[in-house]
Structure 1
Amino acid sequence: MNVKAQYRVGGSGLRENWFIGAGFGAQFFYGDHNRQMYFWDRVVPAYELHAGKWFTSGLGLRLALNGLQNHGVTQNGSHGTGEIYDASKWLEKQEFGYMNVHGDVMFDLMNMIEGYDYQRWHVIPYVGLGMMFTWEVPRSNEISANLGIFNTCYINESFDFTIDVRGSMVNDRFDGEQGGRSDEGMLTLAFGLIYKINYTDWNRPRWEAPPRRGPRRADAAKRLTSELRLSEYDALKKYKDDREVVRQEVAVLVPLPSATVQL
């Protein structure tokens, strides 16, 4: 009796399961003195573009570009606008453009834990490294560490709605002013869309976690029982058919003796 494996491991081809996306939202910069600002004075628009590929239903890579401007305050005039924010603390308003280019490793926890299903909400933690730079004087180029959660919601086979929550960290000297902090960076929340390219339904062998509890486990057990019963029925039917074929062949090859009539 052959029983098919329900949970398997595998990936996609080179041209399959790519995606591109864009997002828009808000972010704020945390630097040496920005904690002394009102929260809404720190919030600025955030933009992002990204592209990547899923190698399995649970593991993917992407390249992302984020920006575009930061607001803060400074005491040494670095990226200062000339407008005083708080004279009692020698704080001047600060603005500068920046870009953060980074590569991320992405883990689709929903597919890993619950088994593959594309028509649902997906929680996708990611971690990555990149380069954050500003082209305004004083210029700066620093390695950035990025950690976030990328959430996707199925719309159709071409598009997903996305929510990206990300923290980015760089060296304290990035904004041109060094203080008591060892780092500075951005916290970002962005909403967007992704477009799926050559999307496939992971019909190749793939990893799927078995259901552990509740209705899904009961359904799986019921389905497995039905498949086993059907296999047993097919095996018994084949056995009976084979016996009938053998009986007919024997009857043809060895005819029964006929009665002899004596006159």
Structure 2
Amino acid sequence: MSEQPILEARGLSRRFGHVTALDGADFDVRPGEVVALIGDNGAGKSTLVKALSGNLAVDSGEIRFDGKPVAIETPTVASGLGIETVYQDLALAPHLDPVANMFLGREVMRPGVLGALGFMDAKQMRVGAQEAFDLLGATVTDLNVPVGSMSGGQRQAIAIARAVHWANRVVFLDEPTAALGVRQTANVLDTIRRVRDHGVAVVFISHSMPHVIEVSDRVQVLRMGRRVATFETAQTSMEELVGAMTGVNGEAA
């Protein structure tokens, strides 16, 4: 695993009126690793993710990609860099099937005159979607039914597979195991490992300390809009992480 961060935040600050959401926040993630981003409610996690994924402008600070300063002003810019985000609401169209959701807004058009007239290449998209699901071991049982009729685990798998299909550098996963059963959660955590093993950096935002310990390589802790601690997961404990979140323990570098 490379020691050079692929994505890095330095001193990001953002205020909403009298509320300081980010107060000089730092963050970094390297290629082929899972970094868990944890913190209590209001710690700044969502604001930081939105800033790094092009969904929110910051007041000050610097974002670096592959070691160079970059302005990620929109989600389109983030996608162009190979950065995708899966939010808690998944942003899936429930009335569309998995293939249509996979290529929503990125439809493959047939070449030549037909493409110019707006005809989609359904066969190519179906093959691409199936390959994306197979790559991550996603158990999508039927490509022809609306995703709204599928289980929470299947919808989560589709959302993650879509993000990974289009992201070749960084994927943000916001509470991907929330409201899932034991088996579905295990599948999602296994998917995260598969993504990491393909060399993609994964940022895992979660309130579940057991899941954080199980799947992450490093843990970064936000408190009151700042990164207050970074841990190697193999060398920390649930108690130490909770202590860093609440400010009970000393801070780690």
| TM value normalised by structure 2 | 0.19
Structure number having the greater helix percentage: 2
Structure number having the greater strand percentage: 1
| TM value normalised by structure 1 | 0.18
